[in-house]
């Protein structure tokens, strides 16, 4: 797709400056003159539509983890730090459970803004901000969930500006993980196959998706996931676009395939419902006038691909 990288979290040509990650003195100097984005339990510090960057010595960073290096943004070194061990003051708004967290937590050392669910602001960010925040969220989450060596079990330490963990006991090196996920535009004539997972907001449907398994090609994953979830068989598979999806750390790989069968037999452990939707009905869905179906979330690659299909912009 010619418009592939216009998807939310798409490429913004961030200078990730990989060589600087190995230069401890250079990183220290960059941090001293750079800016740090605080995140709390995966939620970036936001002031309305803009991320809040603070200097390295800011009081809000006192309980934070060691900052991770994100890259150079128009000459400014950008870092991120995890404040997940900080506890909001008594009576403060707590984090909400469920599909979408609408709560905002204010830090007493920050005069403006609060920690905000990324899903709620991701379409408001500039492409550069989106890449920086997505990288920060995914990288910090990896550090929180991979603090111990998978080889010997010892506690590992951060290295190379946050892009590696090293075990002091057995010298094993560990690197940030990204999970590949295929997400499929499955069409048959004038219709597209949509599904909904249990627990989603009422009426919300999206493209089918699933994790790529070890030893499997992307094409095979597309056909397997569609068949497992809906019983529909598919033919040739072609690539459309990709999207880093930091919830927590996936790479969504958009693909297109034509179904070779029509009947749907859902796997109830995977899907609550699946159905064929015509182009005409999908126009109503995106207009908000369909009586039963709500579209996938704006900013997600499913929304992006479906709109491109309707506009005949999959080239």
Q: What is the pLDDT of residues 109-158, one digit of tens each?
A: 999 999 999 999 999 999 999 999 999 999 999 999 999 999 999 999 99
pTM for the whole structure: 0.93
pLDDT tens profile 194-206: 999 998 999 999 9
pLDDT at 216: 98
Q: Poorest-confidence range of 86-100, 152-166, 185-199? A: 86-100
pLDDT at 65: 85
Q: Mind giving me the DSSP string for the chain? A: -TTGGGSTT-----B--GGGGG-HHHHHHHHHHSEEEEEETTEEEEETTEE--B-TT-GGGTTPPPPEEEEEETTEEEEEEE-TT--PPTTSPPPPPSS-----B--TT-SS-EE--HHHHGGGS-HHHHHHHHHHHHHHHHHHH--B-TTT-PBPEEEGGGTEEE-TTT--EE----EEEEEEEEEETTEEEEEE-TTSPTTB-B-EEEEPPTT--HHHHHHHHHHHHH---EEEEEEEEEEEETTTTEEEEEEEEEES-------TTT-SEEEEEEHHHHHHHHHT--SS-BPPPTTSHHHHHHHHHHTT---
- The answer, yes or no, to whether residue 3 has pLDDT greater than 60, is yes
- The answer, yes or no, to whether residue 88 has pLDDT greater than 90, is no
Q: Which fold has domain 179-310?
A: Nucleoside Triphosphate Pyrophosphohydrolase (3.90.79)
pLDDT at 94: 59
Residues of the chain with CATH 3.90.79.10: 179-310
């Amino acid at each position: 797709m010619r418009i592939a990288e216009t998807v939310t979290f798409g490429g913004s040509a961030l200078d990730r400056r990989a060589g600087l990650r190995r230069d401890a003195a250079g990183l220290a100097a960059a941090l001293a003159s750079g800016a740090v984005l605080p995140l709390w339990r995966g939620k970036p510090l936001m002031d309305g539509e803009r991320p809040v960057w603070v200097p390295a010595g800011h009081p809000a960073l006192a309980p934070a983890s060691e900052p991770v290096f994100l890259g150079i943004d128009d000459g400014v070194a950008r870092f991120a730090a995890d404040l997940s061990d900080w506890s909001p003051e008594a009576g403060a708004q707590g984090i909400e459970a469920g599909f979408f967290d609408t709560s905002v937590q204010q830090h007493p050392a920050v005069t403006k803004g609060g920690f905000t669910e990324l899903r709620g602001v991701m379409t408001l960010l500039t492409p550069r901000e989106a890449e920086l925040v997505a990288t920060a969220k995914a990288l910090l989450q990896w550090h929180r969930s991979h603090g111990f060596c998978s080889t010997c079990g010892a506690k590992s330490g951060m290295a190379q500006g946050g892009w590696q963990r090293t075990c002091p006991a057995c010298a094993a090196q560990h690197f940030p993980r990204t999970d590949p996920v295929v997400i499929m535009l499955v069409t048959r004539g004038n219709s597209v196959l949509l599904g909904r997972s249990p627990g989603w907001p009422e009426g919300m449907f999206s493209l089918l998706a699933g994790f790529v398994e070890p030893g499997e090609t992307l094409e095979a994953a597309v056909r397997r996931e569609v068949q497992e979830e809906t019983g529909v068989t598919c033919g040739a598979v072609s690539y459309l676009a990709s999207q880093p999806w930091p919830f927590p750390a996936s790479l969504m790989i958009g693909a297109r395939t034509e179904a070779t069968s029509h009947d749907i037999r859902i796997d109830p452990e995977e899907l609550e419902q699946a159905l064929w939707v015509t182009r005409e009905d999908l126009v109503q869905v995106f207009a908000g006038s369909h009586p039963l179906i709500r579209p996938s979330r704006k900013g997600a690659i499913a929304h992006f691909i479906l709109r491109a299909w309707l506009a005949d912009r999959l080239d």
